[in-house]
Every structure is written in structure tokens, then in C-alpha cells.
Structure 1
Amino acid sequence: MPRARDLLAVLVVPERCLHCRAPAARAGALLCDGCRRALPWLGVGGCARCGLPGPCPPGRCPARGAAFRAAWAPLAYEGPARSLALAGKERAARRVASWFAAAMTARAPARVTGSVQAVVPVPADPVRGRRRGEDHARLLAVAVAAALDVPCLPVLARPRAAVAQHHQSRAGRRRVPRPVLVAPPPDRVLLVDDVHTTGATLRAAAAVLHDGGARRVTALTALRTLR
């Protein structure tokens, strides 16, 4: 139940856009009207394998050889969408997770979400998860699973990373520690995370799920970097 001081803050202080800090479009909204219109939506007609908005040249897809069969995100990791992702990690986590999950499941192509038996969140680094108090990827996965009416199964765990991933170079991100399987996965798994950057984290998680018995793994994220 909301605390009295939280209710008072909503009444006294207007809600602000999480991107430009102007007054939000309406009560409970995350963005103002201008930032909402500026959201960098992605279509479903790009590369079916890696989720980039355009077709990949033959043999040049960054997801070639990955254990996931398809990947997609509804938004580019730019502008107001990037601000939402950052807010989802540091504050407003549950509100942002619900908003992203609705966008992901409403627009996702059948090649990604069709016939999945369960949603599996990409596991967070345990130290950073405790510091933030919320596991944003797990919150997102729970909301996606509810929208798809399938269970959310946290069957992966991740060892502590020596350096936070967002502080690493692209080459460093490709060397992320592999997660470990803590329970058997179902045959058809939807892997969920917030941002698809190099794809190294998704590749590592999908490989572990595949080695553990999953026959088909697809990846759904809220955002996709375009370079």
C-alpha cells in the first residue's frame, strides 16, 4: 500500500517526464507528449535473427552461430527510450517494467513469442542486484510472462562480474561470464532482458539453456542498440 508521504508527493509535486523533466502527459505517465511522440519505435521487418531494423548482409549477421533462433526489440536504445531504461534501473523500476512489457508483447512478431512455454529472465549480477534493490530484468520478465500467460522461470544464475558490463568495451562485453543453470528449462523458451547491445549476454544465456535441454530459444528485449 502506498505510504502517506508518497501520496502527498503525487498531489503536491507534478509528475515529470523521465526524459526531459517537463510535466508528464497525465497522471501516471512516464513521458510528456513530445517525448512520447519521439520514441524510436522499430518495426518487425528487420533481420529476423539479430533484431536489427535492416537486413544483415549474407554471413555478416551479429547473431550468426547464436543459440537463440530469433531476437527482437520494439524500441531503439536512443532518446526517450534510453532514458526510460536508465530510470527503470535506478528508480521507477516497476512502472517502467510494466510499460516496456506492454510494448514488447503488443508488437512482438510470432517468430519470437509464438508457442513459447515459459519466459526466462537473463540473470543480473548478484552484487549490482542487491545494491539496486530490484532485479530489473526479472521484473520485466515477470510482466512479459503475465502478458503472454506463461510462467516466468528464473532457471539461470550469474556469477559475479569483475567489472560492471556497462563500464566495459564492446570487446569486453563479448567475454561476459556464462550463467549457470539452476533448474531444467522447458523445450521452448523466451529469453528476456532489457537491452540487446552486442548480444553477448543473450548468446551466453541461450547457449546454457540449449545445453540444458531447451530445444528452441528466442530472445525478446525492450531495446536494441543500432550500432
Structure 2
Amino acid sequence: MLKEALLETLWPTRCAGCERAGKVLCDDCIRNMEYIDAYAACPICGDPAGLRVCTRCNAPVEDPEHRVRTLECRSAAMFTGRMAKAIHAYKDAGETRLYKPFALILARIVPPPWLDEADCVTCVPASKAAIRKRGFNHTEPLAQQLASNLGLPYRPLLVVGNVKDQRGLGRRQRSANMRHVLKVLPDTKPPQNVLLIDDVMTTGATLEAATTALKDAGAQTVRCLTLARA
């Protein structure tokens, strides 16, 4: 406690979204992120403007060899402004305490039927290179805290092999990058209904690869939650 008090005196906690002193993510930033309106979003994949005609769900498959399954997803906010700053602070600037407010934000967007049917929470794991760079698997504490908030067990189910950094890649490149990279842990059988957590959905290639791996291993439904959508 004394050490924490000293550190707080020397380097006071500042909000990752606006740099205001006091909290790691202040109430004003939490209120004023660019949240996605669930009533205007695609009821399947969560595309922010896809309620009537979802261009993502109806888009042609660019790579016929890549087996794309219908992706059930909800995202809390757009990857802009304060949310983008907070996620960058969490992943790349060492502000690991953000997993707690992030988990609270995620808990608010879980559809009740998803919660009722879920058997466990898991996450898309970071690559070995990303863990070496950041010093931690950024999705795991977020998924663990969310599981605790929801009263569900957390289970690590996936492992990731060697993969290039996804940032800057298009949909086809991301799909090729993730193909056969995400796999279920050896000697592991997923439960029937899984809540899958990631930080940002860009093209959906990573979540599609993880969903395919889990379903191939025995899961019946895989529902995805992300903090943000690019």
C-alpha cells in the first residue's frame, strides 16, 4: 500500500482517454465514446449500419478456399477517439489496469440470450511476438474479468502459431494470414456455447478463424464480443 501511494504521488493516474488525473478511464470518457447503436446494427455480425442490408454478411467471398462461417458478433464502440486512445494505452503503453473498465463496458453489450446460453468465456490469444513486445497477453485479463463479471467460467481454448502483425493488412491478406494459425489447444474439447473475446474487430478474419477452429473442435455456437470495431 505504501509503495502504491508513493507511486501515485510521483506519477498520478491519468485517464487513458483524455489524460485527466484521477482514474485510469474517467467517467466522462466512458460516457462519451462512440458507442454502436445495437438497434441500427446488423443483428448477426453487429455491423454498425447493417440492420436492413448488411454489406458484410452479404459480401461475396473473396477467397473461395477460405471457409467463412456466419460470424455472430457485437462490438461496444467504434475504434475512434477515446476508445482508440484507451486501447492503444492498454496494448502498447503499459496501462494494464484498463482491463477492468474495459470488461465493464463489454458486460453491458452482452445480449441476454447469449449470457443465458454461454458455457464459458475465452479469448483470441495474442501471438508470441506480441506477448514478447507488450509483456502480457492483452486479451486474457480482459476475458477473465468479463467472465467474473458475468458469473461464467473462463477457459483458455485457443493457441496461436507464428503470424504476421495484422495491422495494415486487408481482408484477403488477414484471412490468409490467420488460416491454420489459430487452433484449439491439444487435448481440449470446447463446450457447446462459447463467448469469444477480442479487443478490436477490423475485417473479422481473426474472429472467423477462431470461430472455425472452435466449431471444428466441437463447439456448437461461438458468439464474439469486441471492445471496438474499426
Q: Which residue of 2 aligns with 1:50?
A: 45
Aligned to 1:206: 211
Q: Specify the code of the residue in structure 1 equivalent to 2:148.
A: A
Runs (5+) with no aligned partner, structure 2: 60-66
SS of residue matched to 2:153: coil
Change (3 A) 1:166 1:207: same
Of stretches 42-51 and 61-70 in structure 1, the one that deviates more from structure 2 is: 61-70
The whole-number CA distance in structure 2 between the counterparts of 1:69 and 1:199 is 8
Equivalent in the alignment of 1:15: 13
Q: Is the 8 A contact 2:171 2:205 kept in 1?
A: no
Q: Which residues of 2 match residues 26-45 of structure 1 at below 5 A?
A: 27-31=22-26, 33=28, 35-45=29-39
TM-score (norm 2): 0.84
The aligned residue for residue 168 of structure 1 is: 169
Query: For residue 181 of structure 1, what is the aligned residue in structure 2?
Result: 184
- Deviation for aligned residue 1:55: 2.2
Q: Of 53, 57, 82, which residue of structure 1 is paired with 2:84?
A: 82
1:63 Cα deviation from its structure 2 partner: 7.8
Q: Which moved more, 1:203-212 or 1:56-65?
A: 56-65
Shift of the 37–59 alpha-carbon distance from structure 1 to 2, 3 Å rule, reads closer
Q: Percent identity?
A: 29
Q: Structure 1: how far apart are the matches of 2:46 and 2:120?
A: 21
Structure 1 counterpart SS, 2:167: helix
Q: Does 1:223 align with 2:228?
A: yes
Task: Give me the whole-angstrom Cα distance separating, in 2, the residues matched to 1:196 and 1:81.
Answer: 13
Q: Is this contact kept in 2: 1:51–1:224, CA < 8 A?
A: no
In 2: Cα distance, 1:169 partner to 1:69 partner = 18
Find runs of 4+ consecutive structure 1 residues off by over 6 angstroms: none
Give unpaired runs (5+ residues) of structure 1: none
CA offsets 1:92-120 (integer angstroms, 9 cap, x no match): 12x21111111111232225433100111
Q: Are the equivalent residues in 1 in contact too, given 2:125–2:140 (CA < 8 A)? A: yes
- The structure-2 alpha-carbon separation of the partners of 1:19 and 1:66, relative to structure 1 and needing over 3 Å to count, comes to same
Report the CA distance between 1:193 and its aligned residue. Answer: 0.5
Please tell me the residue identity of whatever aligns with 2:228. Answer: L
Which structure 2 residues correspond to residues 84-123 of structure 1 after superposition, within 5 A? Answer: 84-90=86-92, 91-93=94-96, 95-123=97-125
The alignment's TM-score, normalised by the length of structure 1, stands at 0.85
* CA distance, structure 1, for counterparts of residue 196 and residue 152 of structure 2: 13
Cα distance in 2, alignment partners of residues 202 and 92 from structure 1: 25
Q: How far does the alpha carbon of each residue in 1:93-152 deviate from its partner, in whole angstroms, 9 at most, with x for none?
A: 2x2111111111123222543310011111211121123111111111111111111111
Q: d(CA) in 1 for partners of 2:56 and 2:9?
A: 50
RMSD: 2.3
Corresponding residue for residue 125 of structure 1? 127
- Asked if the contact 2:71–2:208 (Cα under 8 Å) also holds between the matched residues in 1, the reply is no
Say if 1:59 and 1:81 are closer, same or farther in 2 by CA, change over 3 A: closer
Name the residue aligned to 2:64. Answer: none
Alignment of 1:145-160 (within 5 A): 145-160=147-162
| Separation of aligned partners in 2, 1:63 and 1:190 | 24
